[in-house]
Chains A and B, each alone.
Chain A
Amino acid sequence: MNKKEISNTTLKSIRSKLQNYPDSLKDNFEISIKFVSEIFSVEETKLWALIGLKIAQVTTRSWESSLEYYKATPDIIKYLPFNYIIQWGESGLDLSNQSPTLASSYFKASKNTIKKLRSRHIDSWALTGKSLYNGTWKSSTLACQFFEHSPALVKSLTFPQIEKFTSVLKNISDNSFDIASDSLSISTTIFPIIGKSNEEFINLLPNVIKLNLRELKGFLESCSKSLNKIDSNQRINFIKIIIKLMENGELNIPNHITEMANNLNEINKEEHESILELATTLEGTTPIFFINSTPKAFEKLTNTQLIKWVETGKKIYKTNVEGGVAFFKIESSYSEQVIENLSSSIELSKIKEIMELYCRGLAGSEIKLENTGDLVEKNIGWVSNESPSTEGSTVYLPAVTDRYTSKIDNFNWYKVVSTHQVAHVEFGSFQFNFSKPSNLFKDLRYTLEEKKLNNDENYKSQTWLTDIQRFFNMFTDRQLSLDIFTVVEDGRLDERIKYEYPGVKNPYIKIQTDTLKRRKPIQELPAREALVELIIRIGLQELKSIPVPKKHKKSATDIVSIAKQVFDYSANIEDVAEATLRIYAIISQISNENIDQDDWDNIDIDDINEEYNDSNNMDELIDNISQNPDMSELNDDEEYTPSEQVDYRGDFKPELSQLLNELRSQGDMSDENNKDSNLTQQMLEEMFQSSAEIDVNSNVSEMQNASGKFANNILKETGVNINQQDYGDGVPSHIDEDGGSLDPNEPQTFVYDEWDFRAGDYKPRWCIVHQKEMPEGDPNFYSTTLHSYKPLVQRIQRQFEMMVPEMFRKVRKLDDGEDFDIDDVIEAMIDIKTGNSPNEKFYWRRNKVQRDVAVALLLDTSASTAEAIDDSKKPGDDWDAPDDPVKYMEWLKNRKSEGSRRNYKRIIDVEKESIVLLINALESIGDMYGIYGFSGYGRENVEFYNIKDLNENFSDNIKQRIDRISPLHATRMGPAIRHTITKLKKAEARTKLLFLISDGRPQDRGYSREGVEKEYAVHDTKMALDEAKQEDINAFCLTVDKSGHDYLKTMCEDIGYEVLDDIHALPERLLYLYRRLTM
């Protein structure tokens, strides 16, 4: 529209021209112009009016569009500035040039659309509508429809999405305007349902179109009806599954959609995510049947069990499509059976807590319970993911068991298995002592060893790390001796358990019987293996007619009577060794040949009753096995294969476990002249190579590699530092600890003595404590923590509030008060009568009794607190600070960068959270409290952080400081404790408390290295705590030590002390203890 034209026109002329059209147009114009002229200038109004006129002038019918234009204007001017109004009008004009109906729809829809649309998109919006129009009548309908639906579309879609959707429609309309039109109207109802995934939905639409345009309407219709039955976040995933089905050529999609959605509707919406995730992994048509079966499956299965069920189904589907389909339909009995089994299965995680305490109760030591997979990951010689096992401190159980069809039976299986594993610890499987006499046998070990020394040159060079290794060294066929030993020992334990725990006897026998049923017929085994199997059978209580090779019947009878002797509750591990020796002597003389079906004879165990006595030829047998090579290598042998494992007994590795136990206790003790301290990695490797417990199938070079790795891992696992130079002559040198007393030269530094337990005296002025204020961080940490612990906070609040009323106690024996106490008055009366001076304080008052408590919380902020609390796989020794300053800085850097990448919780995080909760509680009871953190590097650098000083008031600054608590360097506990004592001494309170929260490992350069240094640190810490006691300060140590590196425990007999097994319990426990200690 050119300027000239505008300037030449007047409103008057426009009005007169509008007279040419039906009155309604003029009327609407007059109404709107009142609004327009109020806001816009005359020129602007003129321009606006002119556009309307122009629209009316396009064709004979276009005055109707113009009418809509004028009609809509009063609403539009609320949302748009003038220039956009013009643009809007001109777009309409453009449309009416195409088709007046289009323009009418455009103007009609404008009011509600523009409300939501950005002004700059108005133009494109009109164009988008226009793009659907190609001059035909049908296309005009579609375009009009587009405008009509626009208000709804802008509500659920962004403008680019609308454009995209329109181009999809355009595509459809190329084929069929009807379908396009239907799609448009149905989609408008779908978009609000899908919500934020609309873009994805629009992107998927072309796929549907490509696959089957005719189905599109049905697809959309059923979607719009059914999608709301599905969890709102999962609707798009559902659609994806449907599309995948369409891609697979599945017909009758609308019905499927309805049915699947209805079935999903029956399931809790929270489960939809995992179900649909599972469904996407399925092939072919199975997702349909799977989803339709889920309500039924969920009746019995938990989420994890469902996953297992699906996995089984997938396997079937791979080999047999129809079978797979039937499986997912739950129309096969196998499928039902799998569900039955799964639903009765028990997951270790569910019962772990109970069973762990149970095991601890039985063993009386710190037994941990872990998943078998964890042991395999440690890579120290265990390989089976399924077999239960133990290495002396941890019992490993399979993650899930579904052997039986009832939950009770499965639970009993866990119980029997853990009882058996704990029995290794409880009844001394790993305590074999070569020189301890046995109970039930004559000790032939010494005889054999002596003979070996005489007869076998190789034997003389053998070394051993453990007594059990010394024992196994005597046997040429190590595998055979190990097999006999484990089988006999497991049998002994079974008997012992059944004797000691009659309560588990019944399930035990049931499991033994079931195990027996599953074992291979003995006749399939060659002679030697059959005889080993015989021992297993006796252990499993098969007492009637066990087949044995005819020609070895005498040997078998001997073995039976030995086994019967040792399968007794009074037998000990040394008896097992003696029995092993004898059985080995017998079996090694027998060649491992296959026996004909007819050459078997049955023996009844019950019939063999006479007590076992060494036969006359036992000496000869021992002579035989002491030869090298002994007589065990006979010709025509089948290769000896170890006997099939008894599954409930699991994997028993006596040699490795005893080694681990001894290394551990060596790591814990710091015997200055430890005889094993010259242990080398090479010795360990040798042991692994000779041991039969490690997979013998691997070839030699691999074996050497592996044993090196094992040795390394074992050392890490046990925290033993081998070949330490420091041990030397037995007098430990204190590295980097030379030099004399230190002087605090800077302000805010303090110097303290340190206790040297070797000298039995203090090292004067030995450590410098630098007191610093903790920098400030984000105050929100405080409130978010309180928020995330809301239930606990509320509970604590209640408990602590219950302490408060006690403060308003009725106080008796006052000079003045609310009323007199009748008892005290009488007493005073009596005193007067008897001539004593009466106590005149007989008033009482409800008084606020001052809780006179000052508490200092000392927080270990050493680097070791950076450890993730759920991550037990980190090697235990990497907390040890290197001595060399350069290496130390490197180590520190690693530590820190580890921290910055974390998305897990660390020990320190829980410490911080506990502090927040405690502060919150303490503020409500008004005790005086201080919070300090400590760390440091070396004796001249003990850092002591004020988070809240005792006499400081709680404020936002303190909240901010808490946020900044982070793992720093090493832990030198002594000086930090001493500094806190100094602070507490100054505080005026009747009860003073020092609360030390640490991870139980004092460690610092020259303070905490393995061996004597560690003991030094522990002694110093202990001494510092004793000093607190002398100052009438009650010290309490709370240790959060998940990995058992706790050295302080042994020293803290008369100091309040607690180890927290589960760090998550720290906040609650801390508050609990606080309450207890100060009530």
Chain B
Amino acid sequence: MAKSTKTLYRSYIIEEYNLTEEPYYLPVNDEVELFEAAYKQRIPVIFKGPTGCGKTRFIEYMSYKIGVPLTKVKKQDNKSQNNIPLVTIACHEDLTASDLVGRYLLEGDKTVWIDGPLTRAVKAGGICYLDEIVEARKDTTVIIHPLTDHRRILPVEKKGELLEAAEGFLLVLSYNPGYQSALKDLKQSTRQRFISVEFDYPSRDAEAEIIKHESGLDIQTSTQLAKLGEKVRNLKEHGLQEGSSTRLLIYAGKLISQGIKPRRACQVAINWAVTDDISIQKSISELISSIFE
């Protein structure tokens, strides 16, 4: 009988999960300054932008970036405690308010209150990042209202409590406008509690830099990938719903750096990923074969 098990995995409680290394992020615009300013004033932020353009990476980067200087000033020795926890919640259509706030559970014949992730972020003073907020149920948007104005409180109805947000807390949403169902649009009352930072795909050179960093490719191939990304995005609205994201370009880059032939890598990572329409696939194929040998 084994006395102890070897831990095969690492797990963290969300308040303690801190990034130990600085995530790579290449600023495209003034988003870093904007976010820093917003954070200082605790203004909630909405990120708007197409999929795979770096919204999630940006929030990771910012939580690290904002966290680090704070620790340096306060406590030199134990910096991880003062980092800003980042709680990311991917919203889906069955996500209810109590999934965010918390609920009582039965344990034996007792009941135990378990905090939801939002509550924990509020208590810990972290950044709570609600990804794709429009997907969540309507009741979720209501509970974030008092958190996002001057009150900064989270009503915990079941417990009859009002939870005051800790100093560092900030709510950040991401939101993908454009081809959304008309039924799933943010209400004005919600929208107008946030500032909106727009994200778009980076410029060719910046994107090449990102691809190079993420995939370890040389700058030349990275530029070719970025060029391809740009060309494929040109096809948007000609039957293509979304252009190829930076993420896909990076995937292609990673495949190439693993020795897959560039044309093949782009085929699987970009062409077949963005569309099922055969004639568009053919056109993209031609673009790929023009750009890569």
Interface residues of A (CB under 8 A from B): 353-358, 360-365, 415, 419, 500-506, 826-827, 829-831, 833-834, 836, 991, 993, 1034, 1036, 1056, 1058-1059, 1061, 1076-1079
Q: Are A834 and B283 in contact (CB under 8 A)?
A: no
**B104 CB-CB contact with A under 8 Å:** yes
A936–B231 CA distance with the chains assembled, in angstroms: 42
Q: Are B105 and A830 in contact (CB under 8 A)?
A: yes
A314–B293 CA distance with the chains assembled, in angstroms: 44
CB distance from B292 to the nearest CB of A (A): 5
A836–B104 CA distance with the chains assembled, in angstroms: 11
Q: A502-B293, A1058-B237 are in contact. List 7 more A-B contacts (CB 8 A).
A: A358-B290, A360-B235, A364-B234, A365-B234, A830-B103, A1056-B182, A1059-B237
Q: A834-B111, A1078-B181 are in contact. Are A362 and B231 (CB under 8 A)?
A: yes
Q: Are B181 and A1079 in contact (CB under 8 A)?
A: yes
**Which residues of A are found within 8 Å of B290, using beta-carbon distances?**
358, 362, 415, 419, 501, 503-504
CB distance from A368 to the nearest CB of B (A): 11
Q: Are A503 and B292 in contact (CB under 8 A)?
A: yes
Q: Are B106 and A1078 in contact (CB under 8 A)?
A: no
Q: Are B291 and A503 in contact (CB under 8 A)?
A: yes
**Which residues of A are found within 8 Å of B280, using beta-carbon distances?**
357
Which B260-293 residues have C-beta < 8 A from chain A? 263, 279-280, 282-284, 286-293
Question: Interface size for chain B: under 10, 10 to 19, 20 to 34, or 35 or more residues?
Answer: 35 or more
CB distance from A829 to the nearest CB of B (A): 7
Q: Are B235 and A357 in contact (CB under 8 A)?
A: yes
A755–B286 CA distance with the chains assembled, in angstroms: 47
Convert B19-61 into 0s and 1s, putting 1 for each residue whose CB lies closer than 8 angstroms to a CB of A.
0000000000000000000000000000000000000000000
**Which residues of B are found within 8 Å of A362, using beta-carbon distances?**
231, 234, 287, 290
**Which residues of B are found within 8 Å of A503, using beta-carbon distances?**
263, 288-293
12 A–B contacts, CB within 8 A, in A order: A358-B287, A358-B290, A361-B232, A362-B234, A415-B290, A827-B104, A829-B106, A833-B106, A833-B111, A993-B182, A1034-B185, A1061-B238
Q: Are B231 and A364 in contact (CB under 8 A)?
A: yes
**Which residues of A are found within 8 Å of B289, using beta-carbon distances?**
503-504
A362–B185 CA distance with the chains assembled, in angstroms: 34
Closest to B227 in A: A500
CB distance from A161 to the nearest CB of B (A): 52
Interface residues of B (CB under 8 A from A): 103-106, 110-111, 113, 158, 160, 179, 181-183, 185, 224, 227, 230-232, 234-235, 237-239, 263, 279-280, 282-284, 286-293
Closest to B183 in A: A991
A1056–B178 CA distance with the chains assembled, in angstroms: 7
Closest to A366 in B: B238
CB distance from B66 to the nearest CB of A (A): 31
Q: Are B279 and A830 in contact (CB under 8 A)?
A: no
A96–B285 CA distance with the chains assembled, in angstroms: 86
Q: Is the interface of A mostly helix, strand, loop or mixed?
A: helix
Q: Are B286 and A415 in contact (CB under 8 A)?
A: yes
Q: A354-B286, A502-B292 are in contact. Are A826 and B106 (CB under 8 A)?
A: yes
A834–B159 CA distance with the chains assembled, in angstroms: 8
Closest to A504 in B: B290
Closest to A836 in B: B158
Closest to A827 in B: B103
**Which residues of B are found within 8 Å of A505, using beta-carbon distances?**
293
**Which residues of A are found within 8 Å of B288, using beta-carbon distances?**
503
Q: Are A353 and B279 in contact (CB under 8 A)?
A: yes
A1061–B236 CA distance with the chains assembled, in angstroms: 12
Q: A357-B280, A1058-B237 are in contact. Are A1078 and B182 (CB under 8 A)?
A: yes
A503–B285 CA distance with the chains assembled, in angstroms: 11
CB distance from A245 to the nearest CB of B (A): 46
Closest to A500 in B: B227
**Which residues of A are found within 8 Å of B185, using beta-carbon distances?**
1034
Residue from A500, A1034, A1076 in contact with B179 in the complex, judged by beta carbons closer than 8 Å:
A1076
A506–B263 CA distance with the chains assembled, in angstroms: 15
Q: Are B237 and A830 in contact (CB under 8 A)?
A: no
A501–B239 CA distance with the chains assembled, in angstroms: 24
Q: Are A355 and B286 in contact (CB under 8 A)?
A: yes
A415–B289 CA distance with the chains assembled, in angstroms: 10
Q: Are B291 and A1077 in contact (CB under 8 A)?
A: no
Q: Are B234 and A834 in contact (CB under 8 A)?
A: no
**Which residues of A are found within 8 Å of B181, using beta-carbon distances?**
1076-1079
A68–B280 CA distance with the chains assembled, in angstroms: 78
**Which residues of A are found within 8 Å of B291, using beta-carbon distances?**
500-503
Q: A831-B158, A833-B111, A834-B104 are in contact. Are A358 and B292 (CB under 8 A)?
A: no
